[in-house]
Amino acid sequence: MTRARDLVFVTGAGGFIGSNIARTLSRGGRPVVLCDRFTQPGSWEYLAPVLARDIVLAEEAMAWLEAHEKDVAAIVHVGAISSTTETDVPALIKNNVRFSLDLWDYAARCDCTFIYASSAATYGDGSQGFRDDDSSAGLAELRPLNGYAWSKHVVDRRIVDDVEHGRPTPPRWAGLKFFNVYGPNEGHKGTMRSVVHQLYAQVAAGRPAKLFKADNAEYPDGGQMRDFVYVKDCCAVVENMLAAPSLAGIFNVGTGTARTFADLAAAVFAAMGAEPNIEYIEMPEAIRGRYQYFTQADVAKLTSSGLAPAFHTLEAGVADYVQGYLMAEAGAGRETAPAAQV
Q: List pLDDT tens digits, range 116-151.
A: 999 999 999 898 999 999 999 999 999 999 999 999
Identify whether 70 is a catalytic site residue.
no
* Pair (58, 202) in one structural domain: no
CATH code for position 206: 3.90.25.10
- Do 292 and 237 fall within a single domain? no
83: number of Cβ within 10 Å = 16
Say whether pLDDT at 334 is over 60.
no
Q: Are residues 200 and 288 in the same domain?
A: yes
pLDDT of residue 85: 86
Q: Is the pLDDT of residue 335 over 70?
A: no
Mean pLDDT over 163-186 rounds to 98
* Percent of the residues in the chain that have a pLDDT greater than 70, as a whole number: 96
- Specify whether 24 is located in the same domain as 70: yes
Same domain, residue pair 21 and 63 = yes
The CATH number assigned to the domain holding 88 equals 3.40.50.720
- Which of these three, 253, 288, 313, is where a domain ends? 253
Same domain, 170 and 276: no
Tell me: do 167 and 275 sit in the same domain.
no
Annotated active-site residue in 46, 148, 230, 321: 148
Judge whether 336 lies within some domain: no
Residue 221 lies in a domain: yes
Full domain range(s) for residue 96: 7-180+231-253
Does any domain span residue 319? yes
**Pairing outcome for strands 173-178 and 250-253:** parallel
- Residue 131 in any domain: the answer is yes
Give the mean pLDDT of 162-166.
98
User: Rounded to 5 degrees, what angle do the CA atoms 12, 14, 20 make?
Assistant: 85
> What is the arithmetic mean of pLDDT over 280-288?
87
User: Would the pLDDT of 337 be above 60?
Assistant: no
Mean pLDDT, range 157-176, rounded to an integer: 98
Return the pLDDT at 251: 98
Work out the average pLDDT over 291-320. Answer: 96
Mean pLDDT confidence for 301-329: 97
Does residue 342 belong to any structural domain of this protein?
A: no
> Is 341 domain-assigned?
no
Task: Identify the DSSP state of 156.
Answer: H
Q: Please pick, among 189, 210, 301, 321, the residue that the annotation labels catalytic.
A: 189
User: Is residue 284 included in any domain, yes or no?
Assistant: yes
Amino acid 19: pLDDT: 98
- pLDDT tens per residue across span 77-91: 999 999 988 999 999
Distance CA 292, CA 328 (A): 32
189 is known as an active-site residue? yes
Residue range 303-310: average pLDDT?
98
What tens digit of pLDDT does each residue of 24-75 get? 999 999 999 999 999 988 789 999 999 999 999 999 999 999 999 999 999 9
What is the percent of the chain with per-residue pLDDT over 90, rounded to a whole number? Answer: 85
Same domain (yes/no): 100, 194: no
Q: Is residue 341's pLDDT more than 80? A: no
Domain count, the chain: 2
Question: What's the confidence (pLDDT) of residue 1?
Answer: 35
Please indicate whether residue 168 or residue 292 has the higher confidence score (pLDDT).
168
Whether 37 is covered by a domain: the verdict is: yes
Q: How far is CA 69 from CA 21, 197, 290, 313, in A?
A: 22, 39, 42, 40
Q: How many helices (H) and strands (E) does the chain have?
A: 13, 13
CB 314 within 8 A of CB 322: no
Read off the pLDDT of each residue in 214-235 and give the average, rounded to a whole number: 95
Q: State the Cα–Cα distance between residues 66 and 70, nearest whole angstrom.
A: 9
Task: Give residue 143's pLDDT.
Answer: 94
pLDDT at 3: 57
> Hey, what amino acid is at 102?
D
- Looking at residue 289, what is its pLDDT? 74
pLDDT digits (tens, 9 = 90+) for 142-153: 999 999 999 999
pLDDT at 40: 85
* 257 vs 16: CA distance, rounded Å: 23
Report the chain's mean pLDDT, rounded to a whole number. 94
